[in-house]
Amino acid sequence: MSDTTILLVEDEVQIRRLVRTALEDEGHHVLECGTLKEGMAHLHADTIQLLILDLGLPDGDGIVFIRELRTQFLLSVLVLSARSAEGEKIRALDAGANDYLTKPFSTGELLARVRAQLRHVPQEVATAETHFHFGDIEVDLAQRSVTRSGELLRLTPIEYRLLCAMLAAPGKVLTYRHLLRAVWGNAFVESNHYLRIYVSHLRQKLEDDPAQPRFFVTETGVGYRLDI
């Protein structure tokens, strides 16, 4: 059994069985459900590397769901849909899907696309130092804790990962591409707007004056630098 957990959200039982069997034969651990509500519950409860998502589900639109989960979770999303129109694919990819497979599909192609997505899962950011202190902020990577004046701060997984990526090279200019790859993976190296949003979250949580950032410095047109 691999240590990869894949969540399958699909309301057609036959497709679910087919996909589940193919993935389990490859050694993956598979969780499955038929609604977006159950899918969201799994995302909160389990560590999932890849979501395989049908767009037409009884309790809502998968594209809206992708947009929502992108703000909270780090994982690849492969859409499986009977909607073959180009516009639908573009909408899904723009919402944050990593890949799109139109039904009917062959299990061979599905598995190849799953392998491609799992190759994109970003590696843990490696740093030699485990303890950082700047301003009234303390970061302990070993404990995965961030405190401000001794008070524990709540960072989302994406915020924490971005902070770690910046702590890996304090004082150096980190390009948009470098940070996007480190935090979201190769499929997101063009998604500069994600970075703008999450750097602003970190400034809100870690800077005294988020409008005049002292630590999370913008290098216009290039990227960001952590000045600590």
Binding-site ranges for Ca ion (CB under 5 A) = 11, 54, 56
CA distance 88 to 49: 24
Q: Are 35 and 58 in contact (CB under 8 A)?
A: yes
CA distance 67 to 182: 20
Shortest Cβ 174–Ca ion spacing (Å): 41
When the beta carbons of 11 and 61 are compared against Ca ion, the nearer one is: 11
When the beta carbons of 11 and 88 are compared against Ca ion, the nearer one is: 11
When the beta carbons of 105 and 134 are compared against Ca ion, the nearer one is: 105
Cα torsion angle, 75, 48, 29, 92, sign: negative
Q: Are 59 and 37 in contact (CB under 8 A)?
A: yes
Shortest Cβ 80–Ca ion spacing (Å): 9
When the beta carbons of 30 and 168 are compared against Ca ion, the nearer one is: 30
Query: What residue number has its CB nearest to Ca ion?
Result: 56
Shortest Cβ 36–Ca ion spacing (Å): 11
As a whole number of angstroms, the longest Cα–Cα distance in the chain is 56
Shortest Cβ 57–Ca ion spacing (Å): 6
What SS3 state is found at 78?
Answer: strand
